[in-house]
Every structure is written in C-alpha cells, then in structure tokens.
Amino acid sequence: MSLDLAFDDVQQAIHDAASQLCRDQCSDAVVKAASGSFASGLWKAMAELGILALATPDGDGGACELVAAVEALGRAVFPGPVAGSICAAQLLPPREREAVTSGVAVVSLGRPPLMAWAPAARLFIEIEGQFAHLARPRGPIEPVETLGGEPWGRVELVRTAPLGDARRALALYDIALAAYLAAAGTRLVEDAAEHARTRKQFGRAIGEFQAVAHPLADAWVQLAGAATLARAAAFRFDHAGGESPGQDAIAAAGAARLSAARAAALAAQICHQVFGAIGITLEGPVFHVSRRIRQLASDPDRDAPARAAVLATYGL
C-alpha cells in the first residue's frame, strides 16, 4: 500500500506563507546577525502566521500542517526555539500558551542546569522523563555561549506547577525538529552542490570528481529519507489520535528525529569538506547553516527517549 505524503492545498499554502516570510525577512545576513541573541521582531512576525498555534486548541491543523511550516523555516535556518516553542504550546495552560503562540513570551524548555534560550526566556518548562513542570529561575541566569550561536543559560529552576504527561508534546517536538533538520541539511547540500559546479581545480569543476559528487549524493539521499520519515511520522500522529497518540506514533516521531539528526550532521561534515576553509568561517556562505545543524542535532537528553521508543517497537 502506498501513502501520498505530498502537501495538500492547505498545507502547501502554509508552507508557501512561511517561505515567503523567510524570503522577505530572514535572509542569510539576518540569520548571521542574530547569532548570540534573540531576534524578537522576526520571531513575532513568524508567530503572527499562526505557526506556533498549530495543533493546539487555539489553532488549526495538526502535525502535518506543522511539518509544512517547519520545513520552510528549516530551509531558511530560522533562528529561535522553534521546536521547543511548538512543544511548549502543547503543554501550557491557556494564558501562557497564548503568550507563546503569539510570540510575546519566549520559552526555555529542557532539563537544568543548562537550558536553551534561557537568557531570553520568560517561561521555563522542565522536562523529566515523560512529565513536564512549569518552573521559574531560583536565581540569576548565567549566559553560556554555544557552538550554534544560541543563547543558552546555566540556571537553577524551582517547579511551580505540574504540566502532566508530556509524551504527546514531545512527539510533536521530535517531528518538528526532524522536519527542520532535514530541510536545513538539504539546503546545505544544495548550496555545496552549486559551489562544486562552479569551483574549479586542475581545470575542472570539483563536482566532476567522484570524491566530491558521491558523498553529496549520499547526503542528499539520506536527507530525503529523513524528510519522508518526518512527514510519515506526522501523518501517523494525526491519524492515530492526536490527543493521545499510541506508542507506534511516538516511536515514529523518535525515528524521524534520529534519522534527521544523523543525516543533517553528516551533511554538515561533507559540505564543510566541499567548501574547504570558507565552509568553517563565520563570514563564509554556509557556516551559519552547519553550526545550527550541529547545535540542534546534539541533544543527548532527547536522543535517549527517542531511541528507547524505537527499540520498544521491536521488543528490545
């Protein structure tokens, strides 16, 4: 039996709207300039499209619509806690949820002491296993520099309210992150392929050499597979009862996330080699893409439950 994972008219319209926003307001120069800070104006413009409200009681659509939007954001390497905010919007009570989905409040989601986007955050959610807790900082937040340019912070949290079972929200987190990483990795491979077509060595374009062309092709195939897994996981999530997805839907989300993280990280490595030294310079054409990929693909706290969910489907 085949499954058509192409976007329908509504999903394509969501994707097109997010793509247009990125073309108009999220150029490479904007992304580079946002390193180490939070681009509040750009974030609010994205939130006004209703992307963060998707799959919540306040918004329309489900996981498939989220993937349609996030693929566009990932291709532009859109800065900010995209997957974390999508996850938080599923967990928070109405007033706090509206603040997040409208772009007014930034949320830091994870497990202390190191919290992503903590210096810019107004809301904090601590994840412990499959459960979530609303929290507040006990004291000052110590800023921490990161490879990907995200402003992290070292902070001690005090839990203020339980948010309950977070498995549904975390599955959407995994799906959104998978879609973002697969799209960002694909954009990186396409940029590298274009460079390989124009950069010449020994009188020939370097893309004519198998040692360059074949790794790029391998990376593209793996990213295409990861993108397909993200769309398939979203479809399964929506059709397995989005309010309470079963273990199979949760495992599919975890598999998509793991596949995309691996494929995107491999693409970053290969494309650095294609670009040479300019691939790892801050002012170069693609380092802002690869550093973001490496940041998002390196999250051991979320890797473990994703792997456990996948293995459980095989009785392991």
Residue 257 is which amino acid? R
As given in the structure block, the two tokens for residue 184 are 């960002």
Give strand ranges (E) for the chain: 107-110, 114-116, 123-128, 131-137, 142-144, 152-154, 157-165, 200-201, 204-205
pTM of the full structure: 0.95
Q: What is the reported pLDDT for 100?
A: 97
pLDDT at 174: 95
Q: What is the pLDDT of residue 294?
A: 94
Q: Which residues lie closer than 8 Å to 221 by C-beta, 6 or more apart?
A: none
Architecture of domain 168-312: Up-down Bundle (1.20)
Distance, CA of 226 to CA of 275 (rounded, Å): 23
What angle, rounded to 10 degrees, do the helices at 167-198 and 210-239 form? 160
Q: What is the pLDDT along the chain (316 residues), one digit of tens a residue?
A: 578 899 999 999 999 999 999 999 999 999 999 998 999 999 999 999 999 999 998 888 999 999 999 999 999 999 999 999 999 999 999 999 999 999 999 999 999 999 999 999 999 999 998 899 999 999 999 999 998 889 999 999 999 999 999 999 999 999 999 999 999 999 999 999 999 999 888 888 888 889 899 999 999 999 999 999 999 999 999 987 656 678 889 999 999 999 999 999 999 999 999 999 888 888 889 999 999 999 999 876 667 777 777 787 777 6
CB neighbour list of residue 295: distance below 8 Å, 6 or more residues apart: 146, 147, 148, 149, 150
Q: Any residues with CB less than 8 A from the CB of 114 and at least 6 apart, and which?
A: 144, 152, 153, 154
For residue 1, the model assigns a pLDDT of 53
Could you give the dihedral angle defined by the CA atoms of residues 224, 147, 104 and 166, in that order, rounded to the nearest 10 degrees? 60
Question: Is 240 in contact with 248 (CB distance < 8 Å)?
Answer: yes
Instruction: Categorise residue 315: left if φ over 0, alpha if ψ from -120 to 50, beta otherwise.
Output: left
d(Cα 7, Cα 235) in Å, to the nearest integer? 11
Instruction: Of 221, 188, 174, 189, give the one whose Cα is nearest residue 67.
Output: 174
Query: Side chain identity at 253, as an amino acid letter?
Result: A
Q: What is the pLDDT of residue 168?
A: 92
User: What single string gives the DSSP state of each residue in 202-234?
Assistant: TTEEGGGSHHHHHHHHHHHHHHHHHHHHHHHHH
Per domain, the residue ranges of the chain are 168-312
